[in-house]
Amino acid sequence: MDIEVTPEEQEFRLEVRRYAQAHLPETVRRKVLYGEKLEKQEYVDWQKHLHRKGWIAPAWPAQYGGTGWSLSKQRVFLHELALQCAPETIPFGISMVGPVIYTFGSEAQKALYLPAILNSDTWWCQGFSEPNAGSDLASLRTRAVDCGDHYLLNGQKAWTTHGRFADMMFCLARTADTGKPQQGISFLLLDMKTPGVEVRPVRTIDEGASICEVFFNDVRVPKSGLVGKEGEGWTYAKFLLGHERAMIARVGRSRMQLARAQRLASHPLADGSRPIDNPLYRQRLCDIEARLRALELTELRALSAYRPGAGFDIADSSMLKIEGSEICQALTELLLDLAGRYGMVYTGRYTQSPIGDTTAHGLLGDHLFNRVATIYGGSSEIQKTVIAKSRFQK
């Protein structure tokens, strides 16, 4: 498969580069380059820039505010933004619930939620996992009882990323107990300020606190928050998870990290030698580059097999998730090794000045956080089972 860009796409790449260089604040660019945490407002400001330019939702259909670009143009756009160290768009609205709403939602839901997702006025979180329902998501116990014009929601969600910043949650709740566990699950949209919603942040190994537990105590969710048909939530959740897993491939970010590793490896050490002259480092760099190129091809194949209404092929998105997360992890490991003792400095607060070599700033925190990519969006073991069932169990 040819992944070279056309002259028009090359011109577009330069336009994206110029745009990022003109509008991306230097503080944000440096934070992204060094893997530091951004403040919510920094994401919002950047996403609003992209929205004003009409570039915030490259994959959405034009009728809902997307760009209508070809797949290869979307790819050029996302990769160039990543190379310019632009923040990745927060996925919960644009990449996850947005496509569910414009595909399965009512006209009223589209009118109410899509504009605020596009202009980043509404921040979303994902309420799928529970303390005893992660890999085995269909065993979830949060219950929504039909009370006429609303549901009464009770239960607990776990691992809710951005729960404490979010205005809205899309969540799965059980509305019936008949049939297979996957049946009787409904997909609900709820306002996080509704009485009875309690959010408790959880401290993580990278000293962040973006993960939360969310408790529902007699929360009234208006029936207008039900997406699609009651009891069909599993179908919409699978569609959404396909988007989530494909996005975790993070090809653009890995391209940026690879360029950073190449720069670091070419930097002379105190004795004048350069890591890139060491065959072991060269081999690791080449290995990652080859895997990343293969991942780009897999991503293109998955995108060209994408069907509006049906979404990604389930095995394609699982393959992207496994390989993409492993490449991200191989890159932060390589960067840490290249940084040597400077890589041991952990600037957990993300507000301190760099200690030692500035090229190593933020590496350890980024490396630690990247470990979770094996788990979030569905663990690697589960993805392998998904691939095996889809490809071999005909």
Say if residue 337 is exposed, middle or buried (CB neighbours under 10 Å; 0-12, 13-18, 19+). middle
Q: Are 60 and 110 in contact (CB under 8 A)?
A: no
Neighbours of 190 (CB within 10 A): 22
Where in 321-360 is the site for ligand FAD (CB under 6 A)? none
Please tell me whether residue 35 adopts helix, strand or coil conformation: coil
Q: Report the nearest approach of ligand FAD to the CB of residue 353 (Å).
A: 27
- Residues 115-154: x where in contact with ligand FAD by CB under 6 A, - otherwise, as a string: -----------xxxx----xx-------------------
Nearer to ligand FAD, 134 or 324 (CB): 134
Q: Are 333 and 326 in contact (CB under 8 A)?
A: no
Q: How far apart are CA 37 and CA 40, in angstroms?
A: 9
Q: What is the DSSP letter of 342?
A: G
Sole binder of ligand FAD in the list 90, 118, 211, 360 (CB under 6 A): 211
Q: Are 152 and 145 in contact (CB under 8 A)?
A: yes
Sole binder of ligand FAD in the list 33, 202, 276, 372 (CB under 6 A): 372
Q: How far apart are CA 368 and CA 379, in angstroms?
A: 17
Q: How far apart are CA 187 and CA 160, in angstroms?
A: 16
Nearer to ligand FAD, 24 or 212 (CB): 212
Q: Report the nearest approach of ligand FAD to the CB of residue 171 (Å).
A: 8
Nearer to ligand FAD, 79 or 245 (CB): 245
Choices 259-267, 323-331, 342-350, 381-389; region in contact with ligand FAD by CB under 6 A: 381-389
Least Cα distance to 91 among 246, 252, 310 occurs for 246
Q: Are 127 and 160 in contact (CB under 8 A)?
A: yes
Q: Per CB under 6 A, does 368 bind ligand FAD?
A: no
Q: Per CB under 6 A, does 159 bind ligand FAD?
A: yes
Q: Report the nearest approach of ligand FAD to the CB of residue 55 (Å).
A: 25
Q: Per CB under 6 A, does 161 bind ligand FAD?
A: yes
Exposure string (b/e) for 230-254, b if CB count within 10 Å is 16 or more?
bbbbbebbbbbbbbbbbbbbbbbbb
- Residues 288-327: x where in contact with ligand FAD by CB under 6 A, - otherwise, as a string: ----------------------------------------
Number of residues that bind ligand FAD (CB under 6 A): 18
Q: Report the nearest approach of ligand FAD to the CB of residue 225 (Å).
A: 17
Sole binder of ligand FAD in the list 238, 375, 387, 390 (CB under 6 A): 375
Least Cα distance to 140 among 180, 179, 181, 199 occurs for 181
Where in 73-102 is the site for ligand FAD (CB under 6 A)? none
The contact set with ligand FAD (CB under 6 A) reads: 126-129, 134-135, 159-161, 211, 372, 375-376, 378-379, 381-382, 385
